[in-house]
Amino acid sequence: MDIHNWPYIKKSARRKKRLVKKDFDKQLRQLNKKRQELSDQISDLPPVILEKPYQKGWVRLFVLRDDIAQSNKAEFYQALLDKINNPQWHYDRSFKRRKIRKGAYQYYHADKQVLREFHYDVFHGSKLNLSDAEKACFATKEIWNTQFRRWNTIYYIAESWRFVLVIKPYIVYKVRMVDELLERQLSVIDDYIDRNNLQPRIWKLMGGNDNFWYRDYYDQPQHINKLKNQPRYASKEAYLDY
């Protein structure tokens, strides 16, 4: 049977509205896929080696202590340090950041820097790739999570005295190659999503209710509409209770 000979089927207003929304969600998925492809292409661009390296601020990081670096286990602790190091960059050698309090009072405060600490899932996951000998160098502590109201197990390095904090000049030897066409296309997509506030909808389409960022944003009390399911004919007291 030829489908062109079928009788005309009239679509209801509700079905038309649903089809328009479904088509728009499909376009959002394609737009997000295109944005991810552009981001991957920009990230995969090869670096450009500079003929004249230059200093760009300072870097603060941990290194092995002199006696540990000269011991027979220097290679082991250096491999461990590469996984737990937490380098920070700053334009000033003092690493002080400006703080502003009430009354426009300003002062400079140096942030404390420590070695990386891991949650249970990250510590036992495959991405960190810790050996059994390296896991034995960690200890555990319990920290109260005020957001989810539960205790979290944190793994931290037990013998932190083996590493010392130093400040070195940050020298730039290579830069990322810039493709103006890719950057312009990505900027157009990002501007469209930000201008129309489409990122929350994209989060829900890509991850559903299990998406952490979407759930964390819209489950906050200030974003919950308590009057959403109240009927229009409800009494005045029902609204005043909220």
Same domain, 31 and 146: no
Render the burial of 45-80: b for 16+ CB within 10 Å, e for the rest: eeeeeeeeeeeeebbbbbebeeebeeeeeeeebeeb
Confirm whether 242 is domain-assigned.
no
Confirm whether 6 is domain-assigned.
no
Same domain, 173 and 187: no
Confirm whether 225 is domain-assigned.
no
Q: Which of the four pLDDT bands, split at 50, 70 and 90, describes residue 110? A: confident
pLDDT at residue 135 tops 70: yes
Range with the lowest mean pLDDT among 22-31, 62-71, 158-167, 220-229?
Answer: 220-229
More confidently predicted of 24 and 222: 24
E-state strands within 9-46: none
Same domain, 167 and 133: yes
Same domain, 73 and 190: no
Q: Report the pLDDT value the prediction gives residue 214, as an integer from 0 to 100.
A: 47
Q: Report the pLDDT value the prediction gives residue 40, as an integer from 0 to 100.
A: 94
Cα gap 115→25, rounded to integer Å: 43
Q: Report the pLDDT value the prediction gives residue 99, as an integer from 0 to 100.
A: 76
Q: Report the pLDDT value the prediction gives residue 195, as an integer from 0 to 100.
A: 92
Same domain, 80 and 171: yes
Q: Report the pLDDT value the prediction gives residue 1, as an integer from 0 to 100.
A: 46
Same domain, 58 and 165: yes
Same domain, 60 and 173: yes
Same domain, 86 and 160: yes
Six token digits for residue 42: 């920009």
Same domain, 152 and 195: no
Last residue of a domain, one of 161, 177, 193: 177
Cα gap 117→191, rounded to integer Å: 36
Q: Report the pLDDT value the prediction gives residue 235, as an integer from 0 to 100.
A: 63
Q: How many domains does the chain have?
A: 2
3-state SS of 68-111 is HHCCCCHHHHHHHHHHHCCCEEECCCCCEEEEECHHHCEEEEEC
Cα gap 45→36, rounded to integer Å: 15
Average pLDDT over residues 165-193: 93
Confirm whether 203 is domain-assigned.
yes
Residues, the chain: 242
CA distances from residue 113 to 64, 83, 122, 151, 167 in whole angstroms, order as listed = 16, 16, 20, 23, 12
- Its domain, for residue 36, covers 14-45+182-220
pLDDT at residue 182 tops 90: yes
Average pLDDT over residues 156-181: 93
pLDDT at residue 237 tops 50: yes
In the beta sheet, which residues pair with residue 55? 171
Confirm whether 113 is domain-assigned.
yes
In the beta sheet, which residues pair with residue 175? 48
Confirm whether 193 is domain-assigned.
yes
Average pLDDT over residues 127-139: 91
pLDDT at residue 133 tops 70: yes
pLDDT tens digit sequence for 55-91 = 999 999 999 999 999 999 999 999 999 999 999 999 9
Confirm whether 62 is domain-assigned.
yes
Same domain, 194 and 96: no
Last residue of a domain, one of 122, 144, 177: 177
Collapsed DSSP state (helix, strand, coil) of residue 235? coil
Average pLDDT in the chain: 84
Confirm whether 154 is domain-assigned.
yes
Q: Which of the four pLDDT bands, split at 50, 70 and 90, describes residue 9? A: low
Same domain, 90 and 173: yes
CA distances from residue 100 to 93, 107, 237 in whole angstroms, order as listed = 21, 7, 44
Q: Report the pLDDT value the prediction gives residue 102, as an integer from 0 to 100.
A: 66
In the beta sheet, which residues pair with residue 64? 163
Six token digits for residue 136: 């034995």
Same domain, 158 and 56: yes
Residue 92 has φ and ψ, to the nearest 5°, of -115, 145
Can you give the pTM of this predicted structure? 0.62
